[in-house]
Structure 1
Amino acid sequence: MPFGGGNKCGCCQKTVYFAEEVQCEGKSWHKSCFLCMVCKKNLDSTTVAVHVDEIYCKSCYGKKYGPKGYGFGGGAGVLSMDTGEGLGIKPEEHAPHRPTNNRNASKFAKTPGGSDMCPRCEKTVYAAEKVVGGGNSWHKGCFRCAKCGKGLESTTLADRDGEIYCKGCYAKNFGPKGFGFGQGAGALSHAQ
């Protein structure tokens, strides 16, 4: 490398001199250009994620190129409402809630080609949109309580006859009935 000049910056394509150089994946960057391509956060060797010739912080990289589907990308105990629109990802349009007409939906419902069928909308469930609960594969948008339409998680559902419910609706509709049930601790019920 000549004394007066250096490599071209991977971002601005201007000459990078030694005093201001950051190297990543065999390329040179100005310290001021070594930023996430989406959120513009400053990066370093521990926070950079590279995709072809693009650099990202690990969070933006995960949102854009990481696994998709239920349970991915949030980390323990994190609720993320980020739809990814800043990354050019279009948010999913959810179909309106429709209970399934199939009272005894097969736990092994498959299309002739072998892929899973959603018991709610009766369409093919592909791996990227698959959520498993109650012994069936569901679309993310269909993975809702059959009574109230509340979104479910595998830990917050109860299933009955091939349909899924939130714990509250399940208890109201299929839980124990009669004296002393359903009122909470210490309450008396005089149901007749």
Structure 2
Amino acid sequence: MTEQFNCHYCKETLFGKKYILQEEKPYCVKCYESLYSNTCEECKKPIACDNKDLSYKDHHWHEACFNCFQCKQSLVDKPFSTKDERLLCTECFTNMYSSVCHECKKAIIPGTRKIEHKGNSWHETCFICHHCQQPMGTKSFIPKDDKNYCAPCYEKQFAMHCVQCKKAITTGGITYHDQPWHKECFLCAGCKKPLTGQQFTSRDEFAYCLDCFSHLYAKKCAGCTNPIIGLGGTKYISFEERQWHNDCFNCKKCAVSLVGCGFLTEQDDILCPECGKNL
């Protein structure tokens, strides 16, 4: 008795017919294609067993359908890119989506190195110093007037030099007495601590932090003995070579403010007229 050899799905005999094994079970071509064939992304038809099945990221195409979406040329055995799940040859992708070099105006091919700055792109070899014309690559550079300069050329052409250390100022600085300084060079003449971002005052063309200036030069209040710093519109009273903070110029006995009022003196004390009557 002849052993049966039938399609696992439709049960029709497979003797003398072409068949395909799937999970060690035989299927006739019609059943296999109906159950297991992939659908072509382009023509939406099943990819038959006798056709080449080309796949990319879980998508499948007939060999004849594996073409560039834009120019329709075959992409079989050629490099390609994808955009919005559409196949594009390298040339079409470059023309449609690649950056254009700010210098030579040609497309920057995907995968090649490029330089980006303020919304513009350059081929690595096109990103050159405007002065010396040498490629800057990933080295530091300084932009000026829509042109880019390598650090040495910028220093020679444009940079101001710090009045303290005499070196070029390339990344910010401060101006004091119409002269340029590095922030790290602008120091208190007394304690040598940086003054950038701090309140300071000056004397004899030198800058001092408030602590040093108070210790060295500020007048002392006759009332509280603390320094009187004349910054920010600070007001004080001066009388016979003595000074007081406005808040400290008070009657010695009743503590009433004497600012803008008449007063009397008793040795080193100041008194309001009323307290002075009782002496």
User: Comparing both structures, which one devotes a greater share of its residues to strand?
Assistant: 2
Bigger CA radius of gyration: 2
Q: What range is the shorter-chain TM-score in?
A: 0.3 to 0.5
Q: What is the TM-score of this pair, normalised by structure 2?
A: 0.27
